[in-house]
Amino acid sequence: MKAIYLDYNATTPLDPETVEAMRPCLDEVFGNPSSTHIYGLEARAVVEEARGKVAAFLNGRPDEIVFTSGGTESNNHAIKGIAFAHRDRGNHIITSAIEHPAVTEVCHDLEGQGFRVTFLPVDDRGLVDVEALKRAITAETILVTVMHANNEVGTIQPIEEIASLVRGRGIFFHTDAAQSAGKVPVDVESLGVDLLSLAGHKLYAPKGIGALYIRQGTKIGKFMHGAGHERNLRAGTENVLEIAGLGKACETAKRDLDRNRARMTQTRDRLHEGLRARLDVRLNGHPEQRLPNTLSVGFRGVDAGALLEEMKDIAASAGAACHGASVEISKVLRAMAVPMEYARGTVRFSTGKATTIEDIDRAVEIIASTVRRLKSP
107 is catalytic: no
CA–CA separation, 275 vs 269, rounded Å?
10
Nearest to 298 by CA among 307, 290, 289: 307
265 phi and psi, to 5 degrees? -60, -45
CA distances from 24 to 18, 42, 54, 234, 243 (A): 11, 11, 19, 25, 12
Beta-carbon count within 10 A of 215 CB: 18
Catalytic residue among 25, 107, 250, 322: 322
Nearest to 297 by CA among 311, 283, 285, 309: 283
Residue 260: left if φ>0, alpha if ψ -120 to 50, beta else—which one? alpha
Do the strands 210-214 and 65-68 form a parallel or antiparallel pair, or are they unpaired? antiparallel
* Three-class DSSP category at 315: strand
CA distances from 125 to 75, 118, 296 (A): 24, 20, 11
Q: Cβ(267)–Cβ(295) under 8 Å?
A: no
CA–CA separation, 58 vs 186, rounded Å?
6
191 by Cβ neighbours in 10 Å (0-12 / 13-18 / 19+) ranks as: buried
Task: Give the helix/strand (H/E) hosting 321.
Answer: strand 320-323
* Three-class DSSP category at 256: helix
Beta-carbon count within 10 A of 188 CB: 22
CA–CA separation, 371 vs 76, rounded Å?
40
Nearest to 173 by CA among 146, 144, 214: 144
Helices 357-375 and 240-278 meet at what angle, rounded to 10?
60
Instruction: Return the active site residues.
Output: 322
